[in-house]
Amino acid sequence: MKNAAVRVDTATRKVSLLLPAGSKEESERLRFEAIAELIVMISVLELLEKDGYVMLFRVSARTQDVYEFGRKDLDPGNIEEVPIIDDRTLTLLCKYSRKDIIPTDEFRRFCSRDFIARDEQRFQRQIHFTVGALAVSTLLLVLNMAFTFWPKMTGESKKTLIKLDSMITDIHEIRSTLFPLKKPDSLQVK
């Protein structure tokens, strides 16, 4: 914490913000910023623990009841102590102050990938594949439409039908010359 320190007494479950004393307006602003920073810090830590990015490990050598973290350079004679009474904040600070926070390999990968979660990366890959598939299918649709309608627009289909009709006629003529029809009287019925 940049402008405050936090004192946690785990035996009595008492948490206090230690702020540098100043004018009323400045103290109010510092109090608000410190409380907001503390809540964000605890919420992020809780989320990281829940998602498996960090592990908490209680060090057996820690038997003290009072822990302090944050700014250590505050003048002891010029400190304003602000009690924290939120039950959730008290519980989490008492829990986290006794334990070491150990980052996992997943957290290191998360940091090296610009703080984008693995699920989000997977989702982005799926979006890229989907966009690619849509582009290919759209291109194929345009090509199919071009091959279907181009002959109709240029009149090629009529020319093709006329050529096809003349080919069929020529085939019938060739067949009739090669295999002349037999006269009906020469047909034998068995």
Q: Give the length of the chain.
A: 190
> Are 106 and 124 within one domain?
no
> Are 100 and 67 within one domain?
yes
Q: What are phi and psi of 87, to 5 degrees?
A: -65, -40
What domain range includes position 137?
Answer: 118-181
Closest CA relative to residue 79, chosen from 168, 5, 15: 5
Higher per-residue pLDDT: 80 or 39: 39
Residue position matching structure tokens 């009841």: 65
Among 112, 128, 147, identify where a domain stops: 112
For residues 94 and 10, the answer to whether their CB atoms sit within 8 Å is yes
> Are 122 and 107 within one domain?
no
Whether the per-residue pLDDT at 129 is higher than 90: the answer is: yes
Structure tokens at 17: 């913000």
How far apart CA 36 and CA 84 sit, in angstroms, is 12
> Are 80 and 139 within one domain?
no
Compute how many other C-beta atoms are within 10 angstroms of the C-beta atom of residue 4: 23
For residues 83 and 35, the answer to whether their CB atoms sit within 8 Å is no
What predicted TM-score, i.e. pTM, was given to this entire model? 0.58
Among 89, 112, 135, identify where a domain stops: 112
Strand partners, 69: 6
For residues 69 and 6, the answer to whether their CB atoms sit within 8 Å is yes
Least confident range from 37-46, 125-134, 158-167: namely: 158-167
Q: Per-residue pLDDT tens for 168-190?
A: 888 888 877 777 665 555 555 55
For residues 75 and 20, the answer to whether their CB atoms sit within 8 Å is yes
> Are 152 and 168 within one domain?
yes
Q: Per-residue pLDDT tens for 43-85?
A: 999 998 998 888 888 776 666 788 887 777 776 777 788 888 8
Calculate the average pLDDT of the chain.
81
Closest CA relative to residue 4, chosen from 35, 25, 26: 35
